[in-house]
Each structure stands twice: as C-alpha cells, then as structure tokens.
Amino acid sequence: MTGTKFGLAGRRAWIWAIAFTGGALLIAWAEQAGVIAPPWNWLAIFVVALTIIPLARATSNRQRACGSLSPAMQRYNNRTLAWALAYVAGVAIAVIARDRLEPEGPLLWAIAILPALPILYMIWTMGRYLVEETDEYQKMRQVQAALAGLGVLLAVATFVGFLQTFANIPATAAWWAVPVWAIGMGLYQLFRALTERAEVER
Amino acid sequence: MKNRLKVLRAERDWSQQALADLLEVSRQSVNAIETGKYDPSLPLAFRIADLFALPIEEIFIRN
C-alpha cells in the first residue's frame, strides 16, 4: 500500500463528509432561526442531499484502499446510503408539507415523524452490521466508533441540559441526538485514520 | 502481545493482503495484529497457527 493511494482516497471522503455535515448543520440552524424561506430551504436540502452520494462512494473507495472493505461493510455502506437519502427526503417532505399544507392533527403527527423512520432503519443497519461482520477487528473498530459517538452525545446532552436548567439557554430539539452521535463517531474515525496513516504497509 | 507474524509472512513472501485472503480477514486486521495494536481472538489465533503449521506459542509471544 502506498501513501499516495491511501491519502488521495481518504482526503476525498473527508471533504465530502465535512461538506455534508456542515451543510446539514447550516440548514438546521437556518430553519430554527427562521432565516431561510421556501423555496430556498428545499433547494438547500436537495443540494446537501446530493453530497451523500459522492460521500458514500469515496468512503467505500477509501475502505477498499486501506483493506477494510469487507462484504458486510459494503452492505452497511449501501444501507447507510439508503437511509441517509431517505432521511433527507423525509426532512424535505416534512418541511415542504409544513410550509404548503399547514397540517393539523394526525396528519401533522404523521408528517412530523416521517424523518424519524429512516433513523429506525439506521439503528437496525448498525445492529445488522455487527451480526454480519465476520472480521473481528473491523467489528471492534465499529463498536469503538459507536461508543465514542455515544460518549460525545452524552457529554453534549449533559452540558446543554444543565445550561438549559441553570442558564436558561433556549431548548434544543431532541432530534439533534443522532447528528451529534454521528459527528462524534465520525470524529473518532477521523482521529483513528489520521493516527494510522503512517502505519500502513510499506 | 508480541508476535512473529511479519517474519513468518516475509519468509513465505506473502503480502499482507495475501495473508488476509488466506485467513478470510481484512488486510487492516493483519496489519493491526502484526503491529501489536490488536490481539486476535483464540479462534483467529488458531487459524493463524494452522495456516503456518506452528503451535500458537511459536507465533505469539508472552510479554
């Protein structure tokens, strides 16, 4: 394995990851702050959604380059692409329906939980990967990343929770839990990738 | 735990990928075991020992 092969593929994946995460956080902030109006919020969601496809491809390429793309990981990547696209589509449909239909009652509830459904599939995807992965080292790495994400989520939730209780900062929507967990997981994987770059086979 | 995996692999002129294919694990796993970052489970250690036709204690060395 040469550094060139590893480096190029790796860097490309992280550029897309940063683009997707940054875009998603920006849209979430703009929505909450009310500084983005239709149709620009729909367009922004669509543009951010498109970055998921190159992100998924670059991630698979990087895993293939560093010898960690097992069949189970390939299925996990495919399922992740499916739930990520479904999640963005769910958010987009919920936002458009809220803006256009001004729903009430059961319809409002149905629209509100629409983006949450792909997250259930995401949780199943994580569990399924751990069942299907036969490579014990890869499995351990995924569990470590998930635990790191959980640690970040618990720390942020506790920190924000006490600020809300004692400093009266504005309430935060509970759906932030998954993005914060995923960011924590991503940061851990980035940290591992950077620390292991020098250790690839020469 | 130290091991002689890299030496044994070099003696057979196998790449990490070739060894990984024989063991049905990822190349990253072989790299992690060779560099001592990861100690394999007992079943995987037995598979490695079987592949090299050596007892486990001649491949993995107690610290």
ipTM of predicted assembly, 2 dp:
0.90
Local confidence band at A116 (pLDDT 50, 70, 90 cut-offs): very high
Contact between residue A46 and residue A67 where contact means Cβ atoms under 8 Å apart: no
Q: Which of B26, B31, B35 sits opposite A135 (nearest CB)?
A: B26
Length of chain A: 202
A122 found inside a domain: no
A101 found inside a domain: no
Residue A158 Ramachandran class (φ > 0 left, ψ -120 to 50 alpha, else beta): alpha
Contact between residue A17 and residue A182 where contact means Cβ atoms under 8 Å apart: no
A130 found inside a domain: no
User: From A201, which residue of chain B is nearest by alpha-carbon distance?
Assistant: B31
* Residue range of the domain that includes A160: 135-201
The pLDDT tens digits of the residues spanning A128-172 come to 999 999 999 999 999 999 999 999 999 999 999 999 999 999 888
Q: What's the rounded Cα separation, in Å, for the pair A175 and B58?
A: 53
Residue holding tokens 């390429």?
A61
Using an 8 Å CB-CB cutoff, list chain A residues near B5: none
Model-level pTM? 0.78
Chain B neighbours among A 140-179 (CB < 8 Å)?
140
| DSSP bridge partners of B3 | B60
Using an 8 Å CB-CB cutoff, list chain B residues near A199: 31, 35, 37
pLDDT, residue B49, reads 96
Radius of gyration of chain A (CA): 19
Q: Which residues contact A66 (CB under 8 A, 6 or more apart)?
A: A1, A6, A10, A200, B27, B28
Local confidence band at A199 (pLDDT 50, 70, 90 cut-offs): low
Tokens standing for residue A150: 């959980």
User: From B38, which residue of chain A is nearest by alpha-carbon distance?
Assistant: A137
Q: How many domains does chain A have?
A: 1
A174 found inside a domain: yes
Does residue A95 register a pLDDT over 60? yes
Using an 8 Å CB-CB cutoff, list chain A residues near B44: 136
A170 found inside a domain: yes
pLDDT, residue A198, reads 55
Using an 8 Å CB-CB cutoff, list chain B residues near A66: 27-28
Q: Which fold has domain B2-56?
A: 434 Repressor (Amino-terminal Domain) (1.10.260)
Does residue A66 register a pLDDT over 80? no
Q: Which of B31, B40, B44 sits opposite A199 (nearest CB)?
A: B31
Q: What is the rounded average pLDDT of the residues A38-51?
A: 83
Provide the 10 A C-beta neighbour count for residue A41: 19
Q: Which of A67, A134, A140 sits opposite B20 (nearest CB)?
A: A67
Report the amino acid identity of residue A183: I
The minimum CA-CA distance between B30 and chain A, rounded to whole Å, is 9
Query: Does the distance separating the beta carbons of B40 and A138 come in below 8 Å?
Result: no
User: From B30, which residue of chain A is nearest by alpha-carbon distance?
Assistant: A137
Using an 8 Å CB-CB cutoff, list chain B residues near A201: 15-16, 27, 31
Query: Which has more pLDDT, A21 or A149?
Result: A149
Q: What is the rounded average pLDDT of the residues B15-32?
A: 93
Local confidence band at A31 (pLDDT 50, 70, 90 cut-offs): confident
Does residue A40 register a pLDDT over 90? no
Contact between residue B14 and residue A183 where contact means Cβ atoms under 8 Å apart: no
Angle between helices A117-132 and A71-101 (to 10 degrees): 180
The CA–CA distances, whole Å, from A200 to A3, A15, A43, A136, B51 equal 8, 21, 41, 19, 23
pLDDT above 70 covers a percentage of chain A that reads: 92
Q: Mean pLDDT in chain A?
A: 85
Does residue A201 register a pLDDT over 60? no
Q: What's the rounded Cα separation, in Å, for the pair B46 and A81?
A: 37
Does residue A19 register a pLDDT over 50? yes
pLDDT, residue B47, reads 96
Does residue A125 register a pLDDT over 60? yes
